[in-house]
């Protein structure tokens, strides 16, 4: 099983949000649909917000916790759905919502796995907080997306 420090996992999650934002930006540049573009532009901003939120959260965590070594399985670090998602210029709002849900579920599963196997209360708390944040953001994103879909 690989090892890493909690701060490395947070950096990995920030990079995931950067890639998700770039994914949505690429789709936004290619779409012809105004509703799809509206949703994608929101998702780009949302991913930038989450990336910043992770940076802010990292600043609030004690250095000792960030430098703690953590053993995790490869399954727990599955922040990789972007490579497997297909996209086209004609994606609908529903298809974008489905892609976004896949991305959200990947992060939620990763944080849950890390929290469940944490060896210290301090590390568990970090990943439980990230899990709660990601679940809340998933609900916010879904409400916004459904509102755009109803337009």
Its sign, for the CA torsion 51, 57, 58, 59, is positive
According to DSSP, the residues that pair with 4 across neighbouring strands are 70
The predicted pLDDT at position 6 comes to: 80
User: What pLDDT digit, counting tens, does each position of 122-142 carry?
Assistant: 888 988 999 999 999 888 888
Rounded to an integer, what distance in angstroms lies between the CA atom of residue 69 and that of residue 105? 25
The predicted pLDDT at position 25 comes to: 94
Cα 63 to chain centroid, rounded = 23
Residue 83 pLDDT more than 80?
Answer: no
Task: Give me the chain's average pLDDT, please.
Answer: 83
pTM: 0.82
The predicted pLDDT at position 1 comes to: 47
Compute how many other C-beta atoms are within 10 angstroms of the C-beta atom of residue 144: 15
Question: Strand 69-71 to strand 3-5: parallel, antiparallel, or no bridges (unpaired)?
Answer: antiparallel
User: What pLDDT digit, counting tens, does each position of 49-81 carry?
Assistant: 999 999 998 888 878 877 877 665 555 555 565
57-62 long-range contacts, CB within 8 A, separation 24+:
57/10, 57/129, 57/130, 57/133, 58/7, 58/10, 61/6, 61/126, 62/122
Q: How far is CA 78 from CA 17, 102, 124, in A?
A: 13, 12, 18
Please tell me which residue, 2 or 69, carries the higher pLDDT value: 69
pLDDT band at residue 146, thresholds of 50, 70 and 90?
confident
């Amino acid at each position: 099983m690989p090892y890493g420090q909690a701060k490395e996992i947070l950096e990995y999650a920030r990079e995931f949000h950067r890639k998700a934002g770039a994914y949505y930006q690429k789709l936004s540049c290619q779409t012809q649909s105004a509703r799809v573009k509206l949703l994608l532009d929101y998702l780009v901003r949302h991913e930038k917000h989450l990336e910043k939120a992770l940076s802010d959260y990292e600043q609030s965590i004690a250095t000792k916790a960030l430098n703690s070594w953590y053993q995790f399985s490869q399954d727990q670090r599955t922040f990789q759905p972007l490579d497997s998602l297909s996209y086209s210029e004609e994606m609908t709002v529903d298809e974008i919502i489905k892609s976004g849900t896949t991305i959200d579920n990947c992060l939620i599963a990763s944080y849950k796995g890390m929290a469940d196997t944490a060896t210290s209360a301090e590390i568990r708390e970090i990943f439980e907080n990230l899990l709660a944040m990601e679940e809340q953001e998933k609900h916010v994103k879904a409400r916004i997306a459904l509102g755009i879909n109803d337009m």
